[in-house]
Chains A and B, each alone.
Chain A
Amino acid sequence: MSAIRAGDETGMAALYDRYSAVVYSVALRVLGDTGAAEDVLQEVFMQLWRNPGLFDSSRGSLGPWLAVIARNRAIDGLRKRRPETDIADVVVSVEPDVAGDAERARAMEKVRGTLGAMPSAQRQALEMAYFEGLSHSEISAKTGEPLGTIKTRIRAGLLALRKAFAT
């Protein structure tokens, strides 16, 4: 990151090589279109290049931050709305930076395992909120579940992921 702050293009290339797969894959999953996912990829990295200060390295790792920004931008694109959250406001606290291929592969397996172990209604609510950007009332309308239940399931799903990485 210090290379990016200094305006070093090779530093930017190194960051891209390390994190582009996560950014691209989450955008592709949300948007279902490779061209649109590429645009999100481009936008996220260009924002980092133009304003490295958006990312506060004292409060988290770059990988998770990029993943959250990419997901949010992809949802904005999917729902045809302007960005709802200023990137500078997004602070992400999570330990695994998943910079290396092996790390990422292990983390990916763990996440998939955790999702697979969830009750399907819970996983479904979480995925609708996460990958489709639906509000709890929209999810409730689609599934016929009460609003409160949807809220509870979404939170419980996220906490289950946290717990899986807590050890």
Chain B
Amino acid sequence: MSVHEQFAEDLALYALGGLEGDERAQLEKHLEGCAGCRRELEQLRGDMALMALSTAGPVPPRRARQRLLEAVGRERRPAAAPARRSWWALVPWVAAAALAVGLVSVWRQKSDLQRQIADLQNESARQFEELRQAREVVSTLTATDAMRVTVVAAKTPPQPQGKAIYVRDRSSLIFLASNFPALPPQKAYELWLVPTSGAPIAAGVFKPDTHGSAIVINPPLPAGVEAKAFAITVEPESGSPAATSPIIMFGAGE
């Protein structure tokens, strides 16, 4: 018999329903994990059954048998009488049901969250790829060691040339200049967006490098302006809000 001695006497009292308070709680906790003490509890209940025999003698009146059999007859289906169960007998079922509902809810939330995380990861990967491509484009365009070649018809001497790429919806503008003559100090080229109506809008100041190349990327522009052409003037280095010299280059949109 592997009964823990410290619980041996408490077990007898517990079997009889006479253990109270902390002692009872401690013993019940111990019983959960101790098969030896559970076996001893069963044995003690067996001892209690023997104790009941000391009372043997009186027999129930005949009407008690009749009463029982009538009640049994009224409840023919043993499982059909849950209504007479004490309410606390339902507590474990209610708790189990609540737990199940809770678990399903948690599981669903977890699934939703996992889906959201997966979506975000996909979105993030897509944006990262776009960003990587954009950086490559920009770094190629802006690289100081990039070879810039303007291809023109054979035997044509190199001419100053500019290429404006404008997306109105995003107010995004990229301008590539090549073969631009050098300017005196304190002077710079200024790019102008010529709208379909109204005065030209300043679209960036640039100075060509020693090869005559320059690039303007996304200068600050008002939103959604419809452009009909781009033009270039020579302006003070800091730029002008309105052109102060004649247009030296001009290109209309197709």
- Report A's interface with B, CB cutoff 8 A: 4, 7, 9, 12-13, 16-17, 20-22, 24-26, 28-29, 34, 37-38, 41-42, 45-46, 49-52, 59-60, 63-65, 67-68, 70-72, 75, 82-86, 90-96, 98, 104-105, 107-108, 111-112, 115, 126, 129-130, 133-139, 148, 151-152, 154-155, 158-159, 161-162, 164-165
Contacts and interface: CB of A to CB of B under 8 A. Distances in A.
Interface string B7-46: 0111111011111100000000000000000010111111
B64 interface: yes
Interface residues of B, number: 52
Interface majority SS on B: helix, strand, loop or mixed? helix
Contacts, number: 193
B120 to A, nearest CB: 50
A21 B52 CA distance: 11
Contact of B53 (A50, A75, A107): A107
Contacts of A135: 13, 18-20
B18 to A, nearest CB: 4
A63 B49 contact: yes
Given A7-B77, A108-B56, 19 more contacts: A4-B78, A20-B60, A21-B58, A25-B55, A25-B58, A34-B61, A42-B67, A50-B79, A67-B48, A68-B45, A84-B17, A91-B41, A94-B50, A96-B50, A98-B53, A105-B56, A129-B18, A133-B17, A151-B12
Contacts of A133: 16-18
